[in-house]
């Protein structure tokens, strides 16, 4: 079990082999055993395998090639639609059209997603999370026909690996764990925590390719810019409003 | 591996046995192998074991007894503080003071949390997630001394189980999975999806204790009311503002 976690790497190249119904059902079932708030299970999972719709979703995911190539794409959604309908059918008046309820449902969706991801890897499958899910939520909502009170939170591709990339680096455990209180980071701490990452061969290559002075500048100037983040923030808040989750009194 | 997931139940009663450093380090290390956006690892984990602070946190978690009783409480935070400091020390100008960045960091924290939860269960430990983390984020921020750009997202207790509760019910897998498009629920679908839950002996007992007509009313009128949700929504949005994540252009 721990081995599956320790061996995790994102897989971006897949064999053409399909994922059987049996395997797919097993990993989805493992997902549904995750903890959810009050056991409400306010999430939904959308399975995409057909080419046409997967190609549309590929465009929403910034044309990342693995979305087209992987046999399966799973999208995990915050979903109060089902629960609200149940309440309304049971003489109960749901009060879940607010930000807290959205966030509760997002937590459910993410714990379920990680269960499914690990269950998939345990079956010999590879996965790759798609951060683009929240960037382009509005388009994905249209493509998957998500009703009010449903918002896509994360997604990943699933298939049998056709590559065996090395483990990616991580910050030292002590760099992300605090005991009792949060211990804020001195300049010296920052240097120590990031030193291994900064000394990697691929870091030096990245800096050369991107023609920046530091690795951090690749993040702030190329990959995750303020301009993009503000545009995506506005779009995501608009989606929450539109999907019915911003009636905060 | 799948067995660990299928056997998951929330554990609320713990033996007094402590969790060794070795075991704790192993489960935290497994957490750090989870996928994070762009491998930025924008999360932190706070470990609480000392009585005094754990008692304060117990109050923030609505005095749920297991917070006092469990030997370990882990709090998983969205954390852009460390990354921002790194950027600033490396001549890079971070643009992560917005809602999208908060949500990205929350996703990181939750995938890591579920890895740690499963790794703990794999060691024979029991865990119980605390939804109260977002309800009382402001107090928890004070107690754990979380700086700007750090927000607690979820927490769970950890310890050796002193109970063996039955598995809790789940909706049928087909009730939460959709193929290709979202298939909205008819009244008949809702009846079918919730029938098993509604026919359980403990459901009938709960309805009798709560003196409601339906199970759904226990959720809307007792457990997760509109009034509470609105108050918690306002508090959480205020926390995001205060921690620096609402500069959305």
Comparing C-alpha atoms, which of B143, B148, B172 is closest to residue B50? B143
- Both structure tokens of A52: 């046409």
Q: Is the pLDDT of residue A221 over 90?
A: yes
Q: Is the pLDDT of residue B95 over 90?
A: yes
pLDDT tens digits, one per residue of B25-83: 999 999 999 999 999 999 999 999 999 999 999 999 999 999 999 999 999 999 999 99
Distance CA B180, CA A203 (A): 39
Is A82's CB within 8 Å of B190's CB?
yes
The reply to whether A86 touches chain B by the CB within 8 Å rule is: yes
Q: Tell me what the pLDDT averaged over chain B comes to.
A: 98
Is A91's CB within 8 Å of B154's CB?
no
- Alpha-carbon radius of gyration of chain A: 20
Distance CA A152, CA A117 (A): 16
User: Cβ distance A75 to A142 under 8 Å?
Assistant: no
Is B215's CB within 8 Å of A101's CB?
no
**ipTM exceeding cut-off 0.90 for this assembly:** yes
Q: C-alpha angle with apex B112: A99 to B130, nearest 5 degrees? A: 50
Residue B248: pLDDT band (50, 70, 90) is very high
Coil, strand, or helix at residue B216? helix
Pick the CATH number of B2-166 from 1.10.3720.10, 3.40.50.1370, 3.30.420.130, 3.40.109.10: 3.40.109.10
Burial bucket for residue B120 (CB in 10 Å: 0-12, 13-18, 19+): buried
Min Cα distance A69 → chain B (Å) is 16
Residue A1: pLDDT band (50, 70, 90) is confident
Give pLDDT, residue B12. 98
The reply to whether A176 touches chain B by the CB within 8 Å rule is: yes
Residue B241: pLDDT band (50, 70, 90) is very high
The reply to whether A211 touches chain B by the CB within 8 Å rule is: no
Looking at residues B10-26, what average pLDDT do you find? 97
Of A33, A219, A248, the CB nearest to B170: A33
Residue B1: pLDDT band (50, 70, 90) is confident
Give pLDDT, residue A243. 98
Is A180's CB within 8 Å of B46's CB?
yes
Looking at residues A22-42, what average pLDDT do you find? 98
**Tokens 């690795």 label which residue?**
A215
Looking at residues B218-238, what average pLDDT do you find? 98
pLDDT tens digits, one per residue of A69-91: 999 999 999 999 999 999 999 99
- Within 10 angstroms of residue A13's Cβ, the number of other Cβ atoms is 16
Comparing C-alpha atoms, which of B43, B151, B136, B58 is closest to residue A175? B43
Tally C-beta pairs within 8 A across A and B.
355
Going B12 to B13 to B18 to B22, the CA torsion angle's sign is: negative
The reply to whether A5 touches chain B by the CB within 8 Å rule is: yes
Domain A2-165: CATH superfamily, name plus number = NADH Oxidase (3.40.109.10)
Q: Tell me what the pLDDT averaged over chain A comes to.
A: 98
Looking at residues A1-15, what average pLDDT do you find? 95
Contacting residues of A for B29, CB less than 8 Å apart: 6, 173
Going A127 to A103 to A138 to B107, the CA torsion angle's sign is: negative
Q: Is the pLDDT of residue B101 over 80?
A: yes
**Tokens 């998939």 label which residue?**
A120
pLDDT tens digits, one per residue of B156-210: 999 999 999 999 999 999 999 999 999 999 999 999 999 999 999 999 999 999 9
Contacting residues of B for A122, CB less than 8 Å apart: 1-2
User: Cβ distance B159 to B70 under 8 Å?
Assistant: yes
Residue ranges of A 55-74 with Cβ closer than 8 A to chain B: none
Give me the count of residues in chain B: 249
The reply to whether B6 touches chain A by the CB within 8 Å rule is: yes
* Global confidence as pTM: 0.98
Give pLDDT, residue A98. 98
Looking at residues B110-131, what average pLDDT do you find? 98
Domain residues of chain A, as ranges?
A: 2-165
- Of the listed ranges A1-10, A20-29, B119-128, the least confidently predicted one is A1-10
């Amino acid at each position: 079990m721990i081995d599956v976690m320790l061996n995790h790497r994102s897989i971006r190249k897949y064999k053409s082999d399909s994922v059987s119904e049996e395997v797919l059902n097993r990993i989805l079932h493992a997902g549904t055993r995750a903890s959810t708030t009050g056991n409400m299970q306010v999430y939904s999972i959308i399975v995409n395998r057909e080419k046409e719709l997967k190609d549309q979703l590929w465009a929403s995911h910034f044309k990342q090639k693995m979305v087209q190539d992987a046999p399966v794409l799973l999208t995990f959604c915050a979903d109060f639609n089902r629960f609200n309908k149940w309440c309304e059918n049971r003489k109960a008046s749901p009060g879940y059209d607010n930000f807290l309820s959205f966030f509760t449902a997002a937590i459910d969706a993410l714990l379920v997603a990680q269960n499914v991801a690990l269950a998939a890897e345990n079956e010999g499958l590879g996965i790759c999370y798609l951060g683009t899910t929240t960037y382009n939520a509005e388009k994905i909502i249209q493509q998957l026909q998500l009703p009010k009170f449903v918002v896509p939170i994360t997604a990943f591709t699933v298939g049998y690996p056709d590559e065996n990339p090395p483990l990616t680096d991580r910050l030292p455990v002590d760099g992300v764990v605090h005991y009792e209180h949060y211990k804020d980071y001195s300049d010296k701490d920052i240097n120590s925590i990031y030193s291994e990452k900064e000394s990697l061969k691929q870091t030096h290559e990245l800096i050369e390719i991107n023609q920046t002075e530091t690795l951090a500048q690749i993040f702030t100037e190329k990959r995750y810019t303020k301009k993009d983040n503000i545009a995506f923030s506005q779009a995501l808040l608009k989606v929450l409003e539109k999907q019915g989750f911003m009636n905060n009194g």
